[in-house]
Structure 1
Amino acid sequence: MTRPMSGLVIFDCDGVLVDSEPISLRCTTAALNSFGYPVDEDDVFDRFLGSSTASMVAAVEASLGRGLAPEALDDLRREILDAFGRELKAVPGVARAAERLDRPFCVASSSIPERIRYSLRITGLLPLFEPDIFSATMVVHGKPAPDLFLLAAKRMKAEPARCIVVEDSIHGARAGQAAGMTVLGFIGGSHIRGNVARERSHSEKLIQAGAAMVFDKLADLPELVREFSR
């Protein structure tokens, strides 16, 4: 029987590894309004950041009392990916931070596998994380349920209590806490940083959701991982 490794860092993808949230927020807000679900970008940020498309669609359909056309959702996915191809960049410091970690790491994201790999590929990060990439499509219940993080730990042969989750979303922080893992809340993405009110409010909500602390520079991550692993 293989012994569990001593520790593991689990990265969320959107808003932590790739600066995708401003693009997704913009495209999703426009699409939801076109579906007859009136929201602005702050609403989408507060309600759906970190949740899977399936979870978001279920909430919207329940509110509207009708289903959304599958082709409309396909159009939204294509629009987001097209925008990624033109605009998406890695969050500053990702590669250097990952290379300095003293333990294995992986990705566990609410996005579908194709989108995760596309995002990592066009930002040059895919070789750093492949093949240790886990998607909410691999479990029955996505974030805020702990299933995805527990799956990642199991596949990576790590004890949940020795895992550190790096998350920017409330759903993700709750999932990490429910999995019995240490959560570090990241607020360095451009969808949070620079907006003082949102940064303060989101930091407080991450702590309330279970994050042990919040930080805004990935350069600080290796030392934080060592500190929270003592």
Structure 2
Amino acid sequence: MTGISAIKPRHLVIFDCDGVLVDSEPLSVRVLVAALNRHGIEMAEEEAYERFLGRSLATMRQVMDEEYGFHTGPEFLEGMRTDLYSLFKAELKPIPGIAETLEALGLQACVASSSNPDRIRLSLTITGLIDKLDPHIFSATMVKNGKPAPDLFLLAASEMGFAPEDCIVIEDSPAGIEAAQRAGMASFAFTGGSHTHTSGYRDRIEALSPDVVFDAMPDLLHLVQKYIEDRNGSVSANT
């Protein structure tokens, strides 16, 4: 696998975590739906994906409060967190090919996720990816507005020392793709997670017209290189 090197200007690759680095979305939705059902709220997994994929815990709590009249207090959240972390330790896997892709990428990279920092680090540790990305980990808890607002991606770019136009965001959710676009960054939609078979998912992705759509993580290397080469050629032609 050949890395990307000596490319000017520099570029930053910003990875979402859930559904991009780790195949966690089905596990997360399973735990959320079970927790809600225990409290008398019926929600199918399909609806949970549509409402909450790529969004922060704060958004989930707001929806439950405003639309269902259910306050997700500390006891509910702690129980859900305990169940989720236990399931992660038993079943969480990395996205196939992600470790080799990170090693060969040859560009600076970071994580910008709607999950809280503890969950991000646990996910990356369980799947053996933590050493490839730590300490460049950014969480929605660090900004006022979560995805689809651009705040998190703009924070990551600023902290890493890159202009938004030199950033490539790898996302699996409509909210994340919209956030990247609103941040003025390239949006690469990864559709290879095990949750991407859900009804309407690909239609919602395609409706946003991301710069690239791909479903095999090793393909990211040549897709990033092609995007940068095309962009550099366009810049040269206009100067």
Where on the TM-score scale, by shorter chain, does this alignment land: which range? over 0.9
The letter of the residue matching 1:221 is L
Corresponding residue for residue 207 of structure 2: 208
How far 1:180 moved relative to its partner? 0.5
How far 1:102 moved relative to its partner? 2.9
Following the alignment from structure 2 to structure 1, what is the Cα–Cα distance between the partners of residues 202 and 41? 28
Following the alignment from structure 2 to structure 1, what is the Cα–Cα distance between the partners of residues 216 and 27? 21
Secondary structure, aligned partner of 1:229? helix
Alignment of 1:57-96 (within 5 A): 57-96=61-100
Following the alignment from structure 2 to structure 1, what is the Cα–Cα distance between the partners of residues 217 and 29? 22
Secondary structure, aligned partner of 2:28? helix
Corresponding residue for residue 8 of structure 1: 12
How far 1:30 moved relative to its partner? 1.1
Following the alignment from structure 1 to structure 2, what is the Cα–Cα distance between the partners of residues 123 and 191? 18
Relative to structure 1, is the Cα distance of residues 174 and 167 closer, same or farther in structure 2, using a 3 angstrom cutoff? same
Following the alignment from structure 2 to structure 1, what is the Cα–Cα distance between the partners of residues 159 and 194? 31
**TM-superposition CA deviations, 1:32-61 (whole Å, max 9, x none):** 222333211000011101101111110111
Alignment of 1:146-225 (within 5 A): 146-192=150-196, 195=197, 198=199, 201-225=200-224
**TM-superposition CA deviations, 1:180-214 (whole Å, max 9, x none):** 0111101111112xx3x64xx32231232341121
Structure 2: segments with no counterpart, 5+ residues: 1-8, 230-239
Corresponding residue for residue 3 of structure 2: none
1:145 aligns with 2:149: yes
- Structure 1 residue ranges (4+ consecutive) displaced by more than 6 angstroms after TM superposition: none
Secondary structure, aligned partner of 1:134? strand
The letter of the residue matching 1:224 is L
Please provide the CA RMSD for this pair.
Answer: 1.5
Following the alignment from structure 1 to structure 2, what is the Cα–Cα distance between the partners of residues 41 and 226? 36
Following the alignment from structure 2 to structure 1, what is the Cα–Cα distance between the partners of residues 65 and 209? 29
Following the alignment from structure 1 to structure 2, what is the Cα–Cα distance between the partners of residues 214 and 164? 13
In our comparison, the structure showing a higher alpha carbon Rg is 2
Q: What is the number of equivalent residue pairs in this alignment?
A: 222
How far 1:68 moved relative to its partner? 2.4
User: TM-score scaled to structure 1, two decimals?
Assistant: 0.92
Alignment of 1:94-133 (within 5 A): 94-133=98-137
